[in-house]
Structure 1
Amino acid sequence: MKTTLIIMAAGIGSRYGGGIKQLAKMGKHGEIIMDYSIYDAKEAGFDKVVFIIRKDIEKEFKEAIGDRIREQIEVEYVFQELSDIPEGFRVPEGRVKPWGTGQAILCCKDVVKEPFVIINADDYYGKEAFRKLHDFLIREKDCGARYCMGMAGFVLKNTLSDNGTVTRGICKADENDMLTHVVETTGIGRDADGRLVCDDPEVQKWFSEQERVSMNMWAGEPVFIEYLEEGFREFLADDSGDPLKKEYLLPTIVDQLIRKGEAKVKVLETQDKWFGITYKEDKPAVEAAFAKLIEDGVYPEKLWG
């Protein structure tokens, strides 16, 4: 069975100082974080990669990675644009950012016709999650719901940045590791005394380092992308929230489907340590982490030979 890796790489990257953080070089031979994700995905059994990018970075993006890896795996591109909205709607005056991760995946509707896994371009996930999600797509077909999905469940303490706060979807699951709900939580980090803190006072009362969190690594079937089109119309028609800032986000979409009984999501726990480029100051630590993985034999020094 053919399987596809979808990489969301259209983010503006404002917290990285305005540069294109997804294209920051990490390896000794110019490898970027996406190189390692694609390498792990291919090793796990994925056949195709679809990049979601912006038109204005297309040339630089293809030079940085797309043209290099097309001999290794099938490659396609889709473009996330603010103006790409259904007929009958208009972009609010003053809005400059796209509509979020739900809109990003919706952009793939014409090119993704097989089971898929979604990841962020600027996050390193580790090998375990790719293997588990690929196995899930191959083996677990019928969950008794309209949308059968999988999610890599990272341990919260393994996903923090030393250089600032992060946003994570904090997950709750039942005794069968089926997701019951996701709480999108901002401002997660440590205070001066090393205690875990976040922006949500209610979450602050109960969350811990051991919570399972979503890193936007989801597994699903093409029917989910079809739903996103319907859901995007509902999102745009809803006049609540700031029209210049509100976003159509995957964790929120999945949470709503679970609550309505239309989706079942298997949480596949991974102990791998996340790292990524959230802040410009993260780069030296990420470079050092990849150097250590190469030293330990997890990756060859020159990734693609």
Structure 2
Amino acid sequence: MKLTDAVSYGDDDNPSLTLVIMAAGLGSRFGGDKQLAELGPKGETMLQLSIASAIKAGFSAAVIVTRSELIPSLEARLADLPGGFALQFCVQQMTDLPESCRETVQGDKLAELTNARRKPWGTAHALWSARKLVAGPMAVINADDYYGDQAFALLAQGFQQRPDKWQMVAYPLKETLSDHGGVNRGICVTQDNLLISVEEWLNIAWQGDNLVGSHLGRQGQLSPEAMASMTCWGFTPDILDLLGDALADFVAQPGQAPNSECYLPAVVQAALSAEANAKQVFVSQTLDTWLGVTYPQDIDWVKQKLMELLGD
């Protein structure tokens, strides 16, 4: 299987749908590459299960944003995809930044910041890295999560019904936690099925009877019924220019901390709050099970759940 250039199928009434999979993470808490973990009933990775769900929903292409050393293993695992489905790879590189960064960060400072990085620039940068390979509506997910068939069907239906709107599929927060440590989630507020706000909360975990997490450096309490963004988005291509602008601002300020990340929900929130041309994001809540592995201790439980859901 070879890498391909950007492709576009479909027509104006039924545009081609591309699945962008963010698979460049280092898995620091997991202790390895979650992208390659064999968790499905037949040894499938989460990435393979998501692509299978996307194909059922009518998606015609996938772009995998990853690290160069993972591409051979991913290619081998995805060698049996249907012939009409276009697979593309994109390497997320530290030095691949908007040209405007050279205006906001002067002289050799940009190279110094890049060399000091201990991890990629974040999920906003991961999606921006795929800008040359996506020409139409796109769904955006994590490689190491299981979303269920309904999430992709909802996104596909949403693009047919509301082709100019961004989308998100949400899950109840209480169903997305780990018994083995804190997790990071985008917490959402909605009105009339439209997203009002999404904020990145860190290290969410139960403390006794209270569900607590950290937002902007301050600890707070969360409702177990809150709607959580599990990085299951639907975007039109205009997100890419906004990502470039956000990255330029990020690199000039918070990005100067080596462990800081430019989060995709932060870019969405800025687009929602824009004084001019504010975006609308339609929110669907799925009843399907979401599963993910944050810690090694999650593996056995996730395997058991996937066997119950997908096993013969």
Partner of 1:155: 172
Partner of 1:145: none
Code of the aligned partner of 1:86: P
CA displacement 1:171-194 (0-9 Å, x = unmatched): 0112x1111111210111112x34
TM-superposed CA distance for 1:94, in Å, is 2.4
Alpha-carbon spacing, 1:240–1:48, altered in 2? closer, same or farther (3 Å): closer
Query: In 1, are the aligned partners of 2:60 and 2:84 still within 8 Å (CA)?
Result: no
Q: Does 1:6 align with 2:27?
A: no
Partner of 1:40: 53
TM-score by length of 1: 0.87
Aligned-residue sequence identity (percent) comes to 33
Alpha-carbon spacing, 1:27–1:202, altered in 2? closer, same or farther (3 Å): closer
Partner of 1:224: 239
Code of the aligned partner of 2:35: Q
TM-superposed CA distance for 1:266, in Å, is 0.9
TM-superposed CA distance for 1:240, in Å, is 3.9
TM-score by length of 2: 0.86
TM-superposed CA distance for 1:106, in Å, is 0.7
Distance of 2:141 and 2:308 partners within structure 1: 23
Query: In 2, are the aligned partners of 1:155 and 1:271 still within 8 Å (CA)?
Result: no
Distance of 2:141 and 2:269 partners within structure 1: 18
Partner of 1:118: 140
Partner of 1:180: 196
Q: Does 1:263 align with 2:275?
A: no
Distance of 2:287 and 2:173 partners within structure 1: 10
TM-superposed CA distance for 1:83, in Å, is 1.8
Partner of 1:84: 96
Partner of 2:295: 279
Pairing 1:55-204 to 2, within 5 Å after superposition: 55-63=68-76, 65-69=77-81, 71=83, 73-87=85-99, 88=102, 89-92=110-113, 93-142=115-164, 148-174=165-191, 176-191=192-207, 193-200=208-215, 204=220
Partner of 1:31: 44
Distance of 1:154 and 1:195 partners within structure 2: 19
Q: Matched residue of 2:139: which SS?
A: strand
Partner of 1:298: none
Query: In 2, are the aligned partners of 1:82 and 1:91 still within 8 Å (CA)?
Result: no
Distance of 1:91 and 1:66 partners within structure 2: 37
Distance of 1:132 and 1:156 partners within structure 2: 19
TM-superposed CA distance for 1:73, in Å, is 2.4
Distance of 1:172 and 1:202 partners within structure 2: 19
Query: In 2, are the aligned partners of 1:83 and 1:91 still within 8 Å (CA)?
Result: no
Distance of 2:16 and 2:279 partners within structure 1: 23
Query: In 2, are the aligned partners of 1:116 and 1:219 still within 8 Å (CA)?
Result: yes
Comparing 7-16 with 82-91, greater Cα deviation is found at 82-91
Query: In 1, are the aligned partners of 2:53 and 2:152 still within 8 Å (CA)?
Result: yes
Alpha-carbon spacing, 1:97–1:70, altered in 2? closer, same or farther (3 Å): farther
Alpha-carbon spacing, 1:202–1:50, altered in 2? closer, same or farther (3 Å): same
Distance of 2:160 and 2:70 partners within structure 1: 34
Query: In 1, are the aligned partners of 2:121 and 2:261 still within 8 Å (CA)?
Result: yes
Distance of 1:202 and 1:268 partners within structure 2: 29
CA RMSD of aligned residues (A): 1.9
TM-superposed CA distance for 1:108, in Å, is 1.1
Distance of 1:43 and 1:286 partners within structure 2: 22
CA displacement 1:87-144 (0-9 Å, x = unmatched): 42335142121100111111111110010100000011112211111111122024xx
Partner of 1:21: 34
Distance of 1:91 and 1:154 partners within structure 2: 40
Alpha-carbon spacing, 1:70–1:13, altered in 2? closer, same or farther (3 Å): farther
Unpaired segments ≥5 residues, structure 2: 1-14, 103-109
TM-superposed CA distance for 1:76, in Å, is 0.5
Distance of 1:71 and 1:189 partners within structure 2: 43
